[in-house]
Each structure stands twice: as C-alpha cells, then as structure tokens.
C-alpha cells in the first residue's frame, strides 16, 4: 500500500475537497489520517486478485422511468433558500483563474 501520507498530500486533498484547513488543522489531520491509514493496512495481507468488487448490496438492473414531465418546483420558493439570487437566477462570485 501507499507510503505514509504527507502534509503536502493533505494540503492537495484539501484543495480538491474545497476545504481551507488552517495550519493547525492540517497538522492534526495529517497525524489522524496517517493513524487511520496505518490501521487500514490490515487488508494489505488479503489476496484480493480474484475477488470481484462489490458496489451494490442488492443486485438490480434496468431501473427506468417513463419520459413523462412533472411540474417544476416553484422558482421563488427555491430562490428564497439561496444564499444569493438575482433576476430569477442564483448569484455567485466571479471565477478567478481556471481551477476546474
């Protein structure tokens, strides 16, 4: 399994997750994640080469819906819950750079 998690990796992951961790949080998180990942090494001993991953607890397939329209939510009720709205739309701050 992978090497011990570094502070740099924790910072990178926090960026991916859009969390602005404080320096102190990053330190603590690095230590805690390292501890957990160490514990999780118990499965390294297992031979899993021929094991199929399990993603669904109950095997269903082809769950489909007819193409029939239902009424929209009320725009005012929805925008009323938004942190910022304008002209029937949701308002967000500008994008600086192209992070995505």
Partner 1 sequence: MQKLVDIVAGVTNGSLKASAVVEEHLARIVARESEIHAFNLVTADQARNDAAKVDEDVKSGKKVGALAGVPIALKDNMCTRGVETTCSSKILQGWKPPYDATVVTKLRAAGAVIMGKTNLDEFAMGSSTENSAFGPTKNPHDVSRVPGGSSGGSAAAVSAGFAAASLGSDTGGSIRQPAALCGVVGVKPTYGVVSRYGLVAFASSLDQIGPFTSDVRDAATLLEVISGHDPMDSTSIPQAAPSLVSVLDHGVAGMRIGRVTDLPEGCEPDVLARLEAAFDALRSAGAIIVDIKLPSIQYCLTAYYLIAPAEASSNLARYDGVRYGNRVEAADLNAMYAATREAGFGEEVKRRIMLGTYALSAGYYDAYYGKALKVRRLISDDFAHAYEKTDVILTPTSPSVAFKFGSKTDNPLAMYLCDVFTIPTNLAGHPAMSVPFGTGANSMPVGVQVLATTLGEQAMFKVAAELERSL
Partner 2 sequence: MSEVAALPNGWQLIVGLEVHVELATKTKMFSASANRFGDEPNTNIDPVTLGLPGALPVLNQHAIELAMRIGLALNCKVQPCTFHRKNYFYPDLPKAYQITQYDHPLNIDGHLMLPGEVRIGIERAHLEEDTGKSTHFGGSSGRIHGSDYSLIDFNRAGVPLVEIVSRPDIRTSEQARQYVGELRSILLAVGASDAKMEEGSMRCDVNVSVHKPGTPFGTRCEIKNVNSIRSVGRAIDYEARRQVDVIEGGGTIRQETRHWDDATGRTETLRTKEDADDYRYFLEPDLVPLVPDQSWIDAVRAALPVLPAARRKALAELCGVDKDGESAIVVVERGQDDYVAAVVAAGGDPRRAVVYVQQAFAEQGATPKVPAKDLAALTILERDAKVTSTQAKTLLTDLIEAGGGDVSAMATKRGFEALDTSAVEAMVDAAIAAEPGAWQKYCNGEEKALGALVGAVMKSSKGKADGKVITALLQAKRP
Q: Which stretch binds partner 2 (CB under 8 A): 22-30, 35-43, 44-52, 73-81?
A: 73-81
* Spatial CA neighbour of 17 closest among 28, 6, 27, 26: 26
Phi first, then psi: what are they for 47, rounded to 5°? -90, 105
Rounded CA-CA distance 64/66 in Å is 7
| Residue ranges in 37-66 that form contacts with partner 2 under rule CB under 8 A | 55-56, 60-66
Instruction: Give the three-state DSSP class for 48.
Output: coil
Shortest distance, position 1 Cβ to partner 2, whole Å? 18
Summarize as ranges the residues that interact with partner 2 (CB under 8 A).
Answer: 16, 18, 55-56, 60-70, 72-73, 75, 78-79, 86-95, 98-100
């Amino acid at each position: 399994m992978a090497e011990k998690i570094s502070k740099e990796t924790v910072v990178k992951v926090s960026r991916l997750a859009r969390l602005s961790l404080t320096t102190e949080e990053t330190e603590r998180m690095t230590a805690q994640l390292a501890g957990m990942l160490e514990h999780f090494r118990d499965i390294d001993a297992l031979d899993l080469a021929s094991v199929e991953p399990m993603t669904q607890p109950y095997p269903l397939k082809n769950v489909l819906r007819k193409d029939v329209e239902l009424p929209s939510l009320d725009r005012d009720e929805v925008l009323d819950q938004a942190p910022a709205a304008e002209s029937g739309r949701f308002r967000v701050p500008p994008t600086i750079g192209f992070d995505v």
